[in-house]
Amino acid sequence: GIWGLGAGLLVFMIGSGVDPLLATGVMLSIYSMTRLDPSQSENVWLLGYMNVDHRQYVKRGFPYYWACAATAVIVNAFLYFI
């Protein structure tokens, strides 16, 4: 997530001269992909409660999460970079 290694990457990006708003926007956009992780405790609990296999969850959710993250990265690039 962005709270551990992601925070270090964010500091590195900003220290390298990347616009702080762009770096933060990109990190928050990509963070949405981590919601798909079937090993996160809330996802494990929910999948168990709904009797849904984690492979089915990832297979069905990946295209939507990827599209949302890619769109958010592009929007942030246009807002803060281009």
The per-residue pLDDT for range 11-52, each reduced to its tens digit, is 888 899 888 887 887 777 777 677 777 777 788 888 889 898
Position 37 scores a pLDDT of 77
Average pLDDT over residues 57-70: 85
Position 2 scores a pLDDT of 60
Global pTM value:
0.56
Determine the 3-state secondary structure of 25 from DSSP.
helix
Average pLDDT over residues 49-74: 86
